[in-house]
Amino acid sequence: MKVVAYDRLAEGPLAAYVSYDNEKIGRLQGGAMVKALGSEAKDANVVMINGSPTDPNAPFFKKGAHSVLDKKVKKIAYEQDIPDWSPDEANKKMSSAIDKLGKDGIQGVYAANDGMAGGVITALKQRGIKVPVGGQDAELAGVQRLLSGDQDYTIYKEIKPEAETTAEIAVALLKGKAIEPLTDRKVDSLSGDFKGIPAKLFDAQAITKNEVADTIIKDKVYKVSEICTAQYKKACDTAGIK
């Protein structure tokens, strides 16, 4: 049976793999954090709340983010991998970071996805701390936090092209047709046991509240009514989302 891995690189003899350039996404996250820190970046202590150690995508996000942050900020002052991408666990680890570093010892927090960013922001608010926080995935709650100013950036990944390309590859394989026109590179499995897997890796982009209208709304990821609930109506109006 021919298997196409979707979004995550499965271990085994794959016919193809369709996802995003996850190391590049990590670099986008790191770059967005540096931009959010601005002129204070070089003196900033940053906390890293990374993804699940059992998720094959998480090491790529972390590697990409480190490649930027290690050069641009003062130091990574506290870092933890979070099992199952748990927002609750991210909240606990953020509280531990505050206990260790103090309220004035943190200038920014990298969270590997929006769910964990939500847990991080809750912990920061409980201690009266406001610093740049970023995530990934442009999930609904994350987009709302962008608009309200609680979260500084997220990573927007267009799901439709990824899904459509996966379907096209599956159909081509069923019909015995070549998939080379649908793939643009080859990758190896994480173990290194399986090499030269045909792959299509899409790009993503870092967005702030200023880009929500031209990305999330334009691409109809969510309805305006879903984002702009009563709690976020004023923030939507300010961002020109109606």
The CATH number for 105's domain is: 3.40.50.2300
Q: Which two tokens stand for residue 103?
A: 């309220």
Q: Which residue has the tokens 């490649």?
A: 67
Domain assignment present for residue 237? The answer is no
C-alpha to C-alpha distances, 215 to 130, 168, 204, 206, nearest whole angstrom: 26, 24, 11, 11
pLDDT given at position 158:
87
pLDDT given at position 232:
96
For the stretch 210-228, pLDDT in tens is 999 999 999 999 999 999 9
Region for 166 from its dihedrals, namely left if φ exceeds 0, alpha if ψ lies in -120 to 50, beta otherwise: alpha
pLDDT given at position 242:
84
Question: What residue ranges of the chain have pLDDT lower than 50?
Answer: none
Task: Calculate the CA 182 to chain-centre distance.
Answer: 25
Quote the CA–CA distance of 140 and 224 in Å, as a whole number.
11
Looking from the CA of 100 toward its CB, the CA atoms found within 13 Å total 12
Range of the domain at 173: 1-204
Domain assignment present for residue 91? The answer is yes
Domain assignment present for residue 43? The answer is yes
Domain assignment present for residue 211? The answer is no
- Pairing between strand 154-156 and 108-111? unpaired
Domain assignment present for residue 162? The answer is yes
Look up the pTM and report it.
0.93
8 A C-beta contact, residue 154 and residue 137: yes
Domain assignment present for residue 87? The answer is yes
8 A C-beta contact, residue 137 and residue 157: yes
8 A C-beta contact, residue 107 and residue 133: no
Domain assignment present for residue 22? The answer is yes
8 A C-beta contact, residue 138 and residue 218: no
Domain assignment present for residue 215? The answer is no
Contacts of 179 (CB under 8 A, 6+ apart): 15, 16, 169, 172, 173, 198
pLDDT given at position 52:
97
Q: State the total domains in the chain.
A: 1
Q: How many degrees, rounded to 5, is the angle at CA 154 between CA 231 and CA 31?
A: 140
Q: Which two tokens stand for residue 29?
A: 């996250």
Quote the CA–CA distance of 227 and 130 in Å, as a whole number.
23
| Helix axis angle, 140-148 to 114-126, nearest 10° | 40
Task: Calculate the CA 168 to chain-centre distance.
Answer: 26
